[in-house]
Amino acid sequence: MNTALRRMPFRSLRSKLALLLILAAAIPIVLIGYISYRWIYIVQTEKIETEWVEKAERERDELERKLEELARVSQLLDVEGGIGREVVRFISSGDSYERSMLYRDITDSIANVNFSNPNLGAMFFYAPQLEEPLLFPNLTGPISFSLEVLTPFYKQKAFTYYGPHFSKAEERDGEPVFSLLRKLDYGQGKFLYAYIETGIGGLESLFETEPRGDSGRAFPVYHALVGPDGRVVYGNFRAETEIVGKPFRQPAGQYQTFRAEGRHGWTLYQLIPRSDYDREMNKWLKQFALFASLSLLAGISLAWLIWRMVYRPIRIINREISRFSYNQTPAKTAATGLPEFDRILDNFQAMGRRIAELILDIEDKEKRRGQLEVEKLLVQINPHFLHNTLNTIQWLARIQGQANIATLVSVFTRVLHYNLGKKTIIVTVREEADAVRDYIELQNIRYDHIFNVRLDIGEDALDIPIPRFILQPLVENALYHGFDGDEVGAIDVTISREDRTLLLQVSDNGKGIPDDKLADMLEASGDRKSGLGIGLRYVKQMLSVYYGEEATLTMESAPGEGTRVTIRLPDEMKGGDPSWTRSKR
């Protein structure tokens, strides 16, 4: 698991921080870009397309209006109730006066029609059976007309629409127009035509040779006019000779196309070059890419700056930790410049100082425990004590027989077992009292019961834990140093519990101790030559190790009045190391 975690990408703080900051910079860019794209490309594009469709429909409607205008004017030229009836009479009459009157009336009527429809171009009647087929033109200049050169736009009953094409009147030569040719039957298989042209007012954009766009458009718009048969009658997006008269095919991928269909099956197309149509979008994409790159670069730069800002404090803290691993002495370190890291560093330095203090304290306690163990062995394995005891066993073996020897050996074994640390260093008051009783019994056998030792232990104190071997040294001092010769003495051992405190007292009625020797015994040095004070020093150090300043040891003595040693300690142990279970061998 740990190996897999170590091999994971972006495992270091620097890489994770860089990734997060780059994502923090990239995510808003992507969201803004997506929203902008939705707005510009979809919403705006749909809006633009709608506008262009509407524009194509307006041009279609304008063209429809002009073609309807041609049809409406042709009604005025009809042979049934229109000017055409007078024209037929003019053609059929042989009376020159009547013809002149009819000519005048027809000319006036043509002028009135032309005046009421200012968008009209050339307008005349065409009678192909006459020697002079063009009759009553509304223009004075020459007119070049031939049915064969006209390309039909679409037909509707007797109406044939043409265009767009150039006007047939020379005075309007080069001007594009739409035209209508209406066949007028006037009986017995005779007929003539009414020809009418209309200008392109309102449709000028259809006939731009180089479309450049209007004031609200920055790109060209081309047009194609397709008849009901699907063939192109006009187009300016290619050379006209290439497409007119041919089936219309939308140029794939080259143009954005919009269309509007007329009522009579023809279609008007608007074609915008794709490169021009996408120019605004491409311009936005380039600007967005530029700003996105700058934002991403700014995010990377911020990641690098933040990493620099974070890495220096981390390096200082890591250096302090590395230094502390081999040198626990306090050292002054530079501030990181960031309050949060400064607090971490201050806390670590405080922790380091505390750890150094604890290490020194532990080393001191271990040293003191070693000293206690040596001194304990000096007390426990007293050559004089062992020698006298063995002599006593030898003497009893010769005089009294094996029963007393067995008792002595049993007691001696218990004392030796307890003193040599076969049990844990922490015992109960009950166990410590039993050991003292065994020791007293051993000494009474040795000295023929010249000592009267009384133990008074409260029931509530029997199970309180205490360090092992703190009562016997006090009793031993009373036995060896409290009495002279074969003097019979009394020793009282009292243990009681008072308000969370354990009270231990050892008192005797011996000779007492002078003040100067008493002070020497209470000092740390003690009387090492005579052994006086070694046990007291051991007891004091044990109390210091396991209770610190919460335990006290006092001695009261006067020559001829005996001695009393009092120990006060808490009824709960708070110091030391209970796991230390045995003393040094």
DSSP character for 150?
A: P
Lowest mean pLDDT among 194-203, 375-384, 452-461, 476-485: 375-384
Angle among Cα 74, 137, 102 to the nearest 5 degrees reads 85
Contact status, residue 501 vs residue 464, Cβ threshold 8 Å: no
pLDDT of amino acid 1: 46
- pLDDT class of 68 with cuts at 50, 70, 90: very high
CA torsion sign for 422, 424, 425, 426 is: negative
What integer pLDDT is reported at residue 105 of this predicted model?
Answer: 92
Element spanning 226, H or E: strand 222-226
Pairing state between β 222-226 and 267-273: antiparallel
**Alpha-carbon gap, residue 357 to 321, rounded angstroms:** 17
215 has pLDDT over 90? no
Q: Which amino acid is present at 388?
A: N
Sign of the C-alpha dihedral, residues 91, 92, 97, 98? negative
Say if residues 439 and 407 touch (Cβ distance below 8 Å). Answer: no
Report helix, strand or coil for 153.
strand
Structural tokens at position 355: 């750890």
Name the pLDDT band for 528 (thresholds 50, 70, 90).
Answer: very low
Which residue has 């051992």 as its token pair? 493
Per-residue tokens: 454? 């009384």
- Please state the φ and ψ torsions of residue 148, each to the nearest 5 degrees: -70, -25
Instruction: Provide the pLDDT confidence category of residue 416 given band limits of 50, 70 and 90.
Output: low
Residue 568 has pLDDT above 90, yes or no: yes
Which domains, from first to last, does the chain contain? 208-277 (no CATH), 365-570 (3.30.565.10)
The pair of three-digit structure tokens given for residue 372, joined into one six-digit string: 């206690």
Nearest-angstrom CA–CA distance, 232 and 449: 147
Nearest Cα to Cα of residue 538 among 584, 441, 472 = 472
Asked whether residue 380 carries a pLDDT value surpassing 70, the answer given is no
Question: How far is the C-alpha of 200 from the C-alpha of 172, rounded, in Å?
Answer: 12
Q: What DSSP character marks residue 43?
A: I
Query: Strand, helix or coil at 570?
Result: strand
pLDDT surpasses 90 at 61: yes
Helix (H, G, I), strand (E, B) or coil at 233: strand
- In this structure, the number of other CB atoms found within 10 A of the CB of residue 334 comes to 10
Token readout for 15 is 């890489």
Determine the pLDDT at residue 429: 92
Measured in whole angstroms, the distance separating CA 322 from the mean position of its chain's CA atoms is: 32
d(CA 125, CA 567): 149
SS (HEC) of 114-128: HHHCCCEEEEEEECC
**Is the model's pLDDT at 493 over the cut of 90?**
yes
Residue matched to tokens 């100067």: 516
Q: What is the mean pLDDT of residues 135-162?
A: 86
Whether 267 contacts 250, CB under 8 Å: no
Cα torsion 572, 577, 580, 582: sign: negative
Instruction: Count the Cβ atoms, other than its own, within 10 Å of residue 260.
Output: 20
What φ, ψ does residue 3 adopt, rounded to 5°?
-65, -40
φ, ψ dihedrals at 429, nearest 5°: -60, -35
Q: What is the mean pLDDT of residues 360-366?
A: 81
Q: What is the pLDDT of residue 326?
A: 66
**Lowest mean per-residue pLDDT among 161-175, 218-232, 361-375, 454-468:** 361-375
User: 493: which strand partners?
Assistant: 455, 506
Q: Cis omega (within 30 of 0) on the bond before 164? A: yes
Tally of CB atoms within 10 A around 333: 15
Which has the minimum average pLDDT: 317-331, 332-346, 391-405, 427-441?
391-405
Number of DSSP helices (H) and strands (E) in the chain, helices first: 15, 17
Across 283-312, average pLDDT: 76
Torsion angles phi and psi, residue 319, rounded to 5: -65, -40
Pairing of strands 562-570, 552-558: antiparallel
